Chain A
Amino acid sequence: MDKHEFASEFFLSAPDVEKTYGLDLTTAETIRAGLIEASRHMRTTLMRGAFSNVVREVLDFGVSVHNVNPDGSTEMVAVTEGCTHFAFTHQHMVNMVLDEWGLENLGPGDTLVCNDPWRGSIHFPDINLIRPVFVDGELAFVLSDASHLTDIGGPVPGGFNSQATSMFEEGLRIPPTLITSGDVPVRSTINLILENVRTPMHALGDIRALFGTLRVGERHLRQLVDSYGVKRVKSGCAYTLDLAERRMRQAISAVPDGTYSAAVLLDDDGSNTAGQPLRMQASARVGGTHVEIDFSGTDSQARAATTTCWEETNRCLVGPKVTLDPRHPMNAGAMRPFHVVAPPGSLVMGLPPTSQSMHTEVGAKGASLMLKIFGQMLPDRAVAPDSGSTGSVVYNGTDQRHGHDSQPFGGVTCSGGSWGGTPTGDGISHNTSPIFSTSFTNVEYLERDTPMLLRGISASIDAAGAGKFRSGFPAFVAFESRSDDTVLSFLLDTGRFPSAGLRGGGPGMSTYLMELNIDDAGGFTQWNGLLPLDHVEAIAGCFGDGGQPTPGAGWGAGKAQTLKLSAHELHKGKIIVCYQAAGGGYGSPLDRDPELVRRDVWNELVSLDFALDGYGVVIEPGSLIVDEAATERLRAELRGAGESGWAPPPAHYRSWPRTTDDLAQLRARALRTGRTTVNS
């Protein structure tokens, strides 16, 4: 449809629907809902059936339904909640894989498998299945699903090899390959996968779940076809796609024509050589209801694994989707108004055989970049940047607990950073980037099924970027393993460059990794994420004097020169602690309601020091009552300092306890009964 048709008329009346699609509006909407319903049944099946924690708990999967166009291209008509990026990648992947395989070569009961990022997958650990659906002997629809396997072989258990300089150091690469033919599993393909991974039982369980999920999707799609006939269901698909396109074009039409650009920095390429930061640059040019996104000016592909190979051409559309039309169900129609330029050889279009094992951090920063750019288009909807890091800890090894026979184990936890402040409220806490939106682990399952113990998870005090509306609070997580054969990989960034605030807001805390010994009592002591520094080994992050976490202090004090660590050995008797980065604050913290600051202090989310330094709010230590007169005086003074004088400081706790006694005193002070206020 030409964009000018949309400029004057975005809405379709019921007679328009009847005329354009040959369907009454109720039927068109019923078919649209029916397609989504098919994807929801697929989701439920996959979550119930999958063996890996990364699928059933972390929700790192995607399921979608595609319509086949007369020219052989396909368009995703329905997708449901899972890991967000599949809602963009599968539209390209299904087209790229089917173009290569040839639609004319597919028959009923065939299923293709592919995990190749150069063909639209995200990384080798994702197993993507694609299944044609024939009606009356004609290819009418395609179903696809994907999930992240616990392991895909290669040198690093779990598949995230940050030091890889080529894909040959990652894991198994699977070009489009038949995994079922006529509904019978292709033995050679199944064996190829199971014999190349460390967790074959989980892999087989997940592959069966993926296959069953496609069968369930097909059954529901056929019910829809039985009710309405294939011709009308396909008309309903056209209606569904056009509706999403119309909504997106309507939203774009409200954006002034012009070019909007921004850049973001990643810490490093993961090579652990204190390398240069990586810079992603992009612009979005808006003309009418068409948008061209261009990554020109981005750094060339990394020497180590922090690169992506195709997926940013579609994942970048999370920016417009979240900013311009967040409420409508996603489908390929919402992608039609966009062209994306990603120059070959750049960080977002790495050439084979580059490694893109740490694609996650490019994805997270890419989403931040797009929210920055699209936020400029509609300033009312701009939000401060989120953590810009995946924040995942990947664990693998053999289970040496009694009775577990050294069986392989593995999984992923996504404890979440935080989102930035918004024009109307504080950012969300413990949440991953909008391009992932994955969930945290079920701790009981983790500790039953693996030797891993979650020793702690909570908000980190003073971590949120200050603002009129502050960012959310990121998680700190502490893990122990009861097996000496345990390795961890960390998908982390935002260690060197804290997420900035917006419109006067302050930067959030940056990312830290630390390790300490389990104490004589068999555990460890912390208070709101603070540890006694004399007992802590700094692994990675910006540490100042004496190991004090200090934003911008450089890598120096840490054991590693990167937060993208692969195969880090976690020995018995040790606890590894990961502090996720926070998002930035929105608006000047001097404009934050002092009562909101007091509540954060009461809840031990903000210290008295940071209330003073970061917000200009004076709170009496014993009673935790705001001294309103002193606060007004201080804020007036800070405002008077003007642009050159005062800016919100980067969020972090200023003076960590050194000894266990210091820590005990901190805890005791917090717990004493001097408070006269009640939190409401």
Chain B
Amino acid sequence: MMAEWIDRILYPHPDVDQVYADRPLVPNKVCPQCASTEVARYQIANHLGPRITLTCQECLHVIAVERPSTADSWPPFRAVAYDWPASPAERASRTQLDSGDTPAG
């Protein structure tokens, strides 16, 4: 039942005085708006929460916004049981709804 242990619940204290965001450039990616090759993929928060953006560093054109994958480690914290199936107790009301036992809504 338990998948691989991805430790995003405890970290050491950072060993730098100031912290800067990583903005790795995406190889061979060209900005459709200004044709720059300075297109970076990095961690952001947009209005919906944690996301990964593909943004041109030259003209700030946002090429794509996607949900972070596990490998993106974003946001920094993630629950250990994030991907575990919900227990019957946690979805009792939903189970009732799905079986038509309760008047809808």
Q: Is B71 an interface residue (CB 8 A)?
A: no
Is the pair A344, B76 in contact by a Cβ cutoff of 8 Å?
yes
Tell me the bound Cα distance from A301 to B14 in angstroms.
Answer: 8
Shortest beta-carbon distance from B21 to chain A in Å: 4
* A134 partner, pick from B50, B82, B105, beta carbons under 8 A: B105
How many chain A residues touch B (Cβ–Cβ < 8 Å)? 67
Tell me the bound Cα distance from A309 to B11 in angstroms.
Answer: 13
Residues of A within 8 A of B55 (CB): 292, 339
Tell me the bound Cα distance from A301 to B19 in angstroms.
Answer: 9
Is the pair A344, B19 in contact by a Cβ cutoff of 8 Å?
yes
Binary A-proximity of B34-60 (CB < 8 A = 1, otherwise 0): 000000001111111110010100011
How many chain B residues touch A (Cβ–Cβ < 8 Å)? 45
Query: Which residues 447-489 of A have a CB within 8 angstroms of B?
Result: none
> Which of B47, B93, B102 gathers most chain A CB within 10 Å?
B47
Q: Is B61 an interface residue (CB 8 A)?
A: yes
Nearest B residue (CB) for A176: B79
Residues of B within 8 A of A299 (CB): 17-19
* A110 partner, pick from B11, B20, B42, B93, beta carbons under 8 A: B93
Is the pair B18, A96 in contact by a Cβ cutoff of 8 Å?
no
Nearest B residue (CB) for A116: B77
Is the pair A345, B19 in contact by a Cβ cutoff of 8 Å?
yes
Binary B-proximity of A105-135 (CB < 8 A = 1, otherwise 0): 1111110000000111000000000000111
Tell me the bound Cα distance from A548 to B95 in angstroms.
Answer: 68
| Known contacts A106-B93, A107-B96, A137-B105, A300 near B46 by CB under 8 Å | no
Q: Is A651 an interface residue (CB 8 A)?
A: no
Shortest beta-carbon distance from A96 to chain B in Å: 5
Is the pair B49, A296 in contact by a Cβ cutoff of 8 Å?
no
Shortest beta-carbon distance from A362 to chain B in Å: 14
Q: Is B94 an interface residue (CB 8 A)?
A: yes
Shortest beta-carbon distance from B55 to chain A in Å: 7
Residues of B within 8 A of A120 (CB): 49
Which of A200-208, A330-338, A630-638, A653-661 lies at the interface with chain B? A330-338
Residues of B within 8 A of A343 (CB): 19-22
Q: Is B3 an interface residue (CB 8 A)?
A: no
Is the pair B90, A332 in contact by a Cβ cutoff of 8 Å?
no
Tell me the bound Cα distance from A19 to B96 in angstroms.
Answer: 39
Residues of B within 8 A of A338 (CB): 46-47
Binary A-proximity of B18-30 (CB < 8 A = 1, otherwise 0): 1111100000000
Q: Is B6 an interface residue (CB 8 A)?
A: no
Q: Is A294 an interface residue (CB 8 A)?
A: yes
Query: Which residues 76-124 of A have a CB within 8 angstroms of B?
Result: 91-92, 95-96, 99-102, 104-110, 118-120
Is the pair A108, B97 in contact by a Cβ cutoff of 8 Å?
yes
Q: Is B2 an interface residue (CB 8 A)?
A: no
The 4 closest A-B pairs by CB, nearest first: A107-B93, A287-B60, A345-B14, A313-B45
Chain A residues within CB distance 8 Å of chain B: 73, 75, 91-92, 95-96, 99-102, 104-110, 118-120, 133-137, 175, 178, 181-182, 279, 281, 285-288, 290, 292, 294-301, 303, 309-310, 313-314, 332, 335-336, 338-346, 349, 351-354
Q: Known A-B contacts: A332-B47, A351-B11. Give 16 more (CB < 8 A).
A: A75-B48, A95-B48, A107-B92, A107-B93, A107-B96, A107-B102, A108-B102, A118-B77, A286-B60, A290-B62, A292-B55, A338-B47, A339-B55, A341-B42, A346-B14, A351-B77
Q: List 24 A–B pairs whose Cβ atoms lie within 8 Å, in order of A's numbering.
A: A75-B47, A92-B49, A96-B49, A96-B75, A104-B94, A107-B91, A181-B89, A285-B60, A287-B59, A287-B61, A299-B17, A339-B44, A339-B55, A340-B46, A341-B43, A341-B44, A344-B43, A345-B14, A345-B19, A346-B14, A346-B18, A349-B19, A351-B11, A352-B11
